[in-house]
Amino acid sequence: MRYPRNLKKGDYIGVTAPSAGITNQVKLLRLDNVKNNFEKIGYKYLETENVRTDNQGRSSSAKQRAEQFMRLWKDEQVGAIISATGGDFMPEILDELDLDELKGLEPKWFQGYSDNTNLTFILPTICDIACIYGNTAKDFGMRKWHKTLNSSIEIMNGKEIEQESLENCETTEWKDSEDPYEEYDLVNKVEWKNLKGEKKVQFKGRSIGGCFDVVVNLMGTKYDKVKDFIEKYKQDGIVWFLEVFEMSTPQIYINLWKMKNAGYFENCKGIIFGRPLMVRKDYEISYEQTLKDALSSLDIPVIYDADIGHVSPQLPIVSGGILEVECENGKGKIKNYFE
């Protein structure tokens, strides 16, 4: 696995929109504050042309999105790239990227989540480049950064940090705020859970995963190199991290069934699920029961309702790195290793 060079003070942090763009006026003000916040801690800010444009869910054409992403990657002054936001149409840019060229370039940190799984998943599995599954750029515009945002910068600085589970999180109800610098509304208590009710669960291995909805969309395409990745890193063992954006419980079950039968869970040391955002409980089947029904035959530890993904705040995860995970009495720890 290739790890990017450490982000240094004075480097540019590049922001681009490989999926949707940002045009909402409140969010644009928040984006302006991203620049201010980065500059306060010693970094320069560079934004591609497509960040503040959007047409039917796309910031620009697939070719333009790929070109602007690659322009930042090739710019030696840019020490890291953070996606502006998520979206729905990011898979389109994969056909416009030269992945062989990416393999030959110096790696740099790329961070994003949700639709950005299209990159945070294939960069490690195809290009052997570690990246970060974590907040998009607009989150860095809040008035006072949550500690999880500082954790992202620490990882980019080359620190192998240990992160503890959070005390509280937001609700799953989306709402539009008129305050462009609004901080997280932490109203729900956080409790990590072990699927089989174990008192303590602990596992370690090479990490892969992201937004579950995107991972299953990539399955079976020419960008699906998961089995090669598992074989290459079989001595490390594999740790999956997954989080649901929007699915019914039958969809979750069937998609986990597909992963099992595609060999995705071979040599798996454990799975950690983030808090799901939108889950429809069809047939009165709960999310927890769905995980049990789908995964009990694997005989591997499973943690769920962890601080990963769409229900903020989220702990940044190094996709492609060594991940050590622990859960006991509702509390958890995650440590990233650059190995």
Mean pLDDT of 22-34: 96
Residue 211's pLDDT band (cuts 50, 70, 90): very high
Separation CA 7–CA 13 (nearest Å): 9
Residues 104 and 178 in one domain: no
Instruction: Provide the number of structural domains found in the chain.
Output: 2
Which 3 state secondary structure label does DSSP give 62?
helix
Residue pair 116/19 in contact by the 8 Å Cβ criterion: yes
Residues 172 and 312 in one domain: yes
| pLDDT for residue 178 | 87
174, pLDDT greater than 80: no
Last residue of a domain, one of 159, 182, 212: 159
Residue pair 15/137 in contact by the 8 Å Cβ criterion: yes
301, pLDDT greater than 80: yes
CA diameter of the chain: 55
Q: CATH code at 66? A: 3.40.50.10740
Residue 98's pLDDT band (cuts 50, 70, 90): very high
Q: Which pTM was predicted?
A: 0.97
Mean pLDDT of 268-290: 97
| pLDDT for residue 49 | 98
Structure tokens at 293: 């029904």
| Domain-embedded: residue 284 | yes
| Domain-embedded: residue 4 | no
Residue 221 has a CB neighbour count (10 Å cut-off) of: 11
Residues 299 and 174 in one domain: yes
| Domain-embedded: residue 7 | no
Residues 186 and 330 in one domain: yes
| Domain-embedded: residue 5 | no
Residues 155 and 186 in one domain: no
218, pLDDT greater than 80: yes
Mean pLDDT of 299-315: 97
| Domain-embedded: residue 208 | yes
| Domain-embedded: residue 314 | yes
Last residue of a domain, one of 159, 187, 208: 159
Q: What is the pLDDT of residues 133-155, one digit of tens each?
A: 999 999 999 999 999 999 999 99
Separation CA 273–CA 36 (nearest Å): 34
Residues 188 and 333 in one domain: yes
Q: What is the pLDDT of residues 182-195, one digit of tens each?
A: 999 999 999 999 99
Q: CATH code at 274? A: 3.50.30.60
Taking the chain, what is the end-to-end CA distance rounded to the nearest angstrom?
A: 7
Determine what percent of the chain is predicted with pLDDT higher than 90.
97
Residues 317 and 211 in one domain: yes
Residues 136 and 175 in one domain: no
Residue 82's pLDDT band (cuts 50, 70, 90): very high
Mean pLDDT of 243-266: 98
Q: C-alpha distances in angstroms, 322 versus 85, 124, 162, 212? A: 26, 12, 12, 20
Domain that holds residue 80: 12-159
Residues 21 and 130 in one domain: yes
Residue 176's pLDDT band (cuts 50, 70, 90): confident
Looking at every residue in the chain, the average pLDDT score rounds to: 97
| pLDDT for residue 284 | 96
Last residue of a domain, one of 106, 127, 159: 159
| pLDDT for residue 177 | 79
Residue 199's pLDDT band (cuts 50, 70, 90): very high
123, pLDDT greater than 90: yes
175, pLDDT greater than 80: no
Residues 175 and 323 in one domain: yes
Q: What is the pLDDT of residues 37-68, one digit of tens each?
A: 999 999 999 999 999 999 999 999 999 999 99
Separation CA 13–CA 35 (nearest Å): 9
Residues 71 and 153 in one domain: yes
Separation CA 57–CA 34 (nearest Å): 22
Q: What is the pLDDT of residues 102-122, one digit of tens each?
A: 999 999 999 999 999 999 999
| Domain-embedded: residue 1 | no
| pLDDT for residue 184 | 95
Residues 112 and 142 in one domain: yes
Structure tokens at 10: 């004075």
